[in-house]
Structure 1
Amino acid sequence: MLEVRDLHVSYGGVQAVGGVSLTVREGDITALLGANGAGKSSTLKAIVGAVKPQSGKVFFEGRDITGTQPDKLVTMGIAMIPEGARVFARQSVAQNLRLGAYTVRDEAIIKQRIDSVYAMFPRLLERREQLAGTMSGGERQMLAIGRALMSGPRLLLIDEPSLGLSPLLVEQVFDALQALNKQQGLSVLLVEQNMNQALEVAAGAYVMQTGRIALQGTAEQLAASDEVRRVYLGM
């Protein structure tokens, strides 16, 4: 579904990503792991056109999307949830969800998707009139996921969903991603520092170190590998 070939990204002459290649198969959750500063977020930003890669290619369903603007990717079936659960703070939960459906013209589909989000995250239904900026970090992350789902994506890219959340809320967020994958067939590229949590839900994973893919394999293989911990911890 998603293929990244030999991607390079630099900022002011400093290389952040040096030749990353990865694949997300349709219907899979694929994890991109690594310590802080490994180049994970830069890779994600280059995939969605938020930064311009120096070189390399990105393909979605066989189509070259390298450098395509993020808003155009939404209409193709790609949604991204950036790090930090960014929501429209001065808008209510319900308004945030509707803003996520800006490409949808059918009111019946919008209502159906809102109902689906509320069924997945009952807390959002309880707080549907509350301003998003007054919610807890976990609630904002739920809202960010729900808003991304309003466009009806086939591929979801999510950056550090566990960042700053309590263990209980992390569990809830990952349970939701797993349910979306199993029940709706949603493909996911999950960028995470939380290796153990990510490998519990992923089918396969890549481990980044200093801007490159150091290891890759199935989740089971990587979870059992001492080499993963060595690379991950930079030892």
Structure 2
Amino acid sequence: MLKIEDLQVAYGGVQAVQGISLEVQPGGITALLGANGAGKSSTLLSIVGSVKPRSGRILFEGRDITGQTPDVLVRKGIALIPEGGRVFARQSVEQNLHLGGYTVTDEAQYRQRLEQVYQLFPRLAERRAQIAGTLSGGERQMLAIGRAMMSGPRLLLVDEPSLGLSPLLVETVFDTLASLNKSGTSILLVEQNMAEALELAEQAYVMQSGKIALQGSAKEISASDQVRKAYLGL
């Protein structure tokens, strides 16, 4: 579904991503793992068109989307859940969801998706009129997921969903991602919490200093002595 070929991303003279290649299979969950500053988020931002790659190609469903703008990519079926559950803080919960569904022109489809979000997250339904900036961290993460769902993505890019959340809320968020995947949404998950991510994903890549240091099935990565010592504390 998604294929990245020799991607390079730079900010001025700093090379954040140094020629990485990876794939996300249709209906699958792929984890992109590594420490802070490894280049994971830069990779996601290049996929959604927020950062222009220096070189390389990004293919979605066989078509080159390299450098296309975020609004075009949303219409093509790609949505990003940004790091830290960032939401439009001065807007209400429902206004945030409305902004997530701005590409949906069919009123019935829009209402159906809104209802799906509220069924998945009853807490958001209870707080639909509340200003998003007053929500808890976990509620903001729910809202960020719901907002992304409103566009009906076939590929969901998720950036550090566990950041700042309690272990219980982390489990809830990962259960939600698993549910979305079972409904047919492919996921590229960027995460520092390797233990949780490797339980969820089928395939995984480990980034280090802008490069892919390891790749394989989630089971293979979990069993790697290098990963167990460096990242899992085992």
Tell me whether the two structures share a fold, i.e. TM-score over 0.5.
Answer: yes
- Map 1:17-36 to 2 at 5 A: 17-36=17-36
Give the aligned partner of residue 199 of structure 1. Answer: 198
Matched, 1:129 2:143: no
- Map 1:50-89 to 2 at 5 A: 50-89=50-89
TM-score between the two structures when normalised by the length of structure 1: 0.96
Deviation of residue 141 (structure 1)?
0.6
Matched, 1:99 2:99: yes
The SS at the match of 2:99 is helix
In structure 2, relative to structure 1, the CA distance for the partners of 1:7 and 1:39 (3 Å cut) is same
- Map 1:218-233 to 2 at 5 A: 218-230=217-229, 232=231
Deviation of residue 78 (structure 1)?
0.4
Distance of 1:19 and 1:171 partners within structure 2: 33
The SS at the match of 2:83 is coil
Deviation of residue 232 (structure 1)?
4.2
Deviation of residue 227 (structure 1)?
2.0
Per-residue deviation, residues 8-58 of structure 1 (Å, max 9, x unmatched): 111111111101100000000100000011110111111111111111000
Distance of 1:200 and 1:79 partners within structure 2: 23
Q: Confirm or deny: 8 A CA contact 1:207 1:232 kept in the other structure.
A: no
Give the aligned partner of residue 213 of structure 1. Answer: 212
Deviation of residue 229 (structure 1)?
3.1
- Map 1:31-50 to 2 at 5 A: 31-50=31-50
| RMSD (Å) for aligned C-alpha atoms | 1.1
Distance of 2:229 and 2:219 partners within structure 1: 17
Give the aligned partner of residue 159 of structure 1. Answer: 159
Distance of 1:99 and 1:82 partners within structure 2: 15
The SS at the match of 2:118 is helix
Matched, 1:169 2:169: yes
Q: Confirm or deny: 8 A CA contact 1:57 1:64 kept in the other structure.
A: yes
Partner letter of residue 58 of structure 1? I
Partner letter of residue 156 of structure 2? L
Deviation of residue 231 (structure 1)?
5.4
| 5+ long unaligned stretches in structure 1 | none
Distance of 1:223 and 1:149 partners within structure 2: 30
Give the aligned partner of residue 4 of structure 1. Answer: 4
Distance of 1:55 and 1:230 partners within structure 2: 33
| 5+ long unaligned stretches in structure 2 | none
Distance of 2:119 and 2:54 partners within structure 1: 42
Distance of 1:121 and 1:228 partners within structure 2: 34
TM-score between the two structures when normalised by the length of structure 2: 0.97
Distance of 1:44 and 1:229 partners within structure 2: 25
Partner letter of residue 51 of structure 2? V
Identity %: 72
Distance of 1:69 and 1:229 partners within structure 2: 38
The SS at the match of 2:117 is helix
- Map 1:175-194 to 2 at 5 A: 175-182=175-182, 184-194=183-193
Q: Confirm or deny: 8 A CA contact 1:209 1:231 kept in the other structure.
A: no
